[in-house]
Structure 1
Amino acid sequence: METMTVSKVAMSIMCMVAVLSLSAPYAVEGLTCGQVTNSLGQCMNYLKMGGVLPPGCCSGVKNLNGLAKTPVDRKQACTCLKTISGSIKGINYGLAAGLPGKCGVSVPYKISPSTDCSRVQ
C-alpha cells in the first residue's frame, strides 16, 4: 500500500515537472564579456599603437557583430567594450571608434568611453 502511494506521488511530481518545462520560456544565453574579449583579442596592438590592421582583428570584429544580434546583446557588447577598454592602458579611442568601419561593419553606437550603453538599440 505504501509503495503505491509513493509511486503516485512520484508520478504526480514528474507530471508537474513536464508541464512546467513545456510552459516555461526557453532560456537563451546572451553575449558574454568573454566572447567580446576573445573576438577582439587580435585588435589590442592595433588599438594601442595603430599601424597595419591585423586580418584576425577584422575577423573578430565581424564575429562579434554577428553575435550581437539583439538589442540586449548590443547593450552587453557596449558595456563590455567600455569595461575592457577602461582596464587596458594606452588604448587610442579614435582608432577604436574607427575599427568597425575599417572592418566593413556597421555598429549602431560610437565606441567610446562616453557612450551611454543603456541607450544602445
Structure 2
Amino acid sequence: MTPTRHSPAVVAAALLLAVLASGRRGAEAGGDESDCSVAQTAFSECTGYVAGLDEEIPPQCCQGLSDVKDLAPGADQRRDLCACLLSEMLAAGKVDSGRAAGLPSACGLSVGFLPTSPDFDCSQIP
C-alpha cells in the first residue's frame, strides 16, 4: 500500500488548528505559556507579505490575524502579543511599514496592536 501524501497547505492548516486548540485549552486552565507561540503560528502566513516577499496577502493571513486579535482582550495581552509579533516580523528579516500598517484594514479587521515598524514601541499600546 502506498502512503498518502498531503499537500503542505493541508499539513500546515492541521498543525495550526492543533496549536490553536491546545493554546485555548491551556488558557482555559489558567496557562499562559502558549499565547505567543499560538500568535506566531497564526501570524506566520502574514510574515512573507509584511516582509515584502509575497505580492498578495494570503487568505490564511487574515484568518490568522483574526485569531491573534482574539487572543488579546486586555491591554497587557495586547502589549505582550505586540512584542511577540514584532520579534516574529524581525526574524523574517524586514518589516515593510506600509504593508504592516495596512494589513488589518486589508483583512477587514481592527487590530491596534500590530507592530508597523522595526522600532515599534509595544509598551505604548493602550
1:96 equivalent among 97, 100, 105: 100
Q: Provide runs of 4+ in structure 1 moved above 4 Å.
A: none
Q: How does 1:8-87 map to 2 (within 5 A)?
A: 27=30, 29=32, 32-47=35-50, 48-87=52-91
Distance 1:66 1:30, change over 3 A: farther
Structure 2 vs 1, CA of residues 70 and 28 (structure 1 numbering), >3 Å: closer, same or farther? farther
Unpaired runs of at least 5, structure 2: 1-28
Calculate the aligned-residue CA RMSD, in Å. 2.2
What TM-score, normalized to structure 2? Answer: 0.64
How far, CA to CA, are the matches of 2:75 and 2:34 in structure 1? 11
In structure 1, the partner of 2:123 is 118
Q: What CA distance in whole angstroms lies between the structure 2 residues aligned with 1:50 and 1:87?
A: 16
How far apart, in 1, do the equivalents of 2:122 and 2:75 lie? Answer: 10
More helix by share: 1
Letter in 2 for 1:73: Q
Determine helix, strand or coil for the equivalent of 1:49. Answer: coil
1:53-90 per-residue CA deviation (whole Å, 9 max, x = no partner) reads 11100000111111111111100111112222222214
Instruction: Provide the aligned length of Structure 1 versus Structure 2.
Output: 96
Gaps of 5+ in 1: 1-25
Which fold has the larger relative contact order, with Cα–Cα distance below 8 Å and residues 6 or more apart in sequence? 1
The percent identity for this pair of structures is: 30
Bigger radius of gyration: 1
- Deviation, structure 1 residue 45: 2.4
Scaled by the length of structure 1, what TM-score is found? Answer: 0.67
Shift in Å at residue 113 of structure 1?
2.3
